[in-house]
């Protein structure tokens, strides 16, 4: 098992009023040059959790952090007009919470739980990544506070 220091939550950045299947996710990642889905888990709108990459295999989901992280993506993240929004269904919320709890039991509790946006560069060098420094909104909620 590789050393894990981060559990990183993502959204698929797709509209909540449209399905985005595992096959579509894989096609999107392959179109970006990946060798399959870069996340380790994908949480569908109905709460189904799909293991998309073994956790022993390095992910392709957060540049500079992949080697020591597990990537978890939920389906959605954009509202019906295509704007970033927390679109998680109650089923996704419950599944994400359970998955994180289970992973902490496997990798240990001494990991940082964060959203992709939280790993944006600290542009002003004050030691905190503020919302105006986020390179993206993903996952559109405060992971550390909520999970």
List active site positions: 10, 39, 116, 136, 138
Contact criterion met (CB below 8 Å) for 88 and 142? no
């Amino acid at each position: 098992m590789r050393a894990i220091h981060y559990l990183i939550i993502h959204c698929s950045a797709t509209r909540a009023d449209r399905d985005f299947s595992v096959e579509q996710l894989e096609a999107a990642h392959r179109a970006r040059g990946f060798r399959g889905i870069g996340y380790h888990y994908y949480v569908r709108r109905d709460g189904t959790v799909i293991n998309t990459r073994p956790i022993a295999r390095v992910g392709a989901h957060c540049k500079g952090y992949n080697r020591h992280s597990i990537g978890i993506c939920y389906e959605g993240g954009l509202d019906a007009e295509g704007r970033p929004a927390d679109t998680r269904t109650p089923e996704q919320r419950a599944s994400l919470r359970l998955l994180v709890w289970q992973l902490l039991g496997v990798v240990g509790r001494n990991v940082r739980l964060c959203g992709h946006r939280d790993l944006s560069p600290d542009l002003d060098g004050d030691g905190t990544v503020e919302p105006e420094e986020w390179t993206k909104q993903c996952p559109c909620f405060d992971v550390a506070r909520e999970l």
